[in-house]
Amino acid sequence: MLNSDARSEIEAVRWVLIRRSVLGILIMAVLTLGTLRYASYRSHEKKKEQDMLLKEAEALKKEALTTPDVSEILAAN
């Protein structure tokens, strides 16, 4: 009788440990996937920001080329 109770207690502890380990693995998987997704999102946002800065720089360069310099304006007068 005592041996049987000990075996059922061990089996109960085993199932508790299995459930906890599966839950831990699932949580780690979710955290890992979330971290990867967030890193990808940040990377795309940073690339968009760099592209926007390059476009603004090109627009300023074009604007600087089309507007006359101060020395040209003074020389024309």
Please report, for the chain, the start and end positions of each structural domain, with discontinuous segments joined by +.
Answer: 2-76
pTM for the model stands at 0.61
pLDDT at 63: 77
Alpha-carbon distance 43 to 36, whole Å?
11
**Confidence bin at 7 (pLDDT 50/70/90):** confident
pLDDT value at position 52?
96
Mean pLDDT of the chain: 89
- The sign one gets for the Cα dihedral 56, 60, 61, 62 is positive
Say yes or no to pLDDT of 59 above 70.
Answer: yes
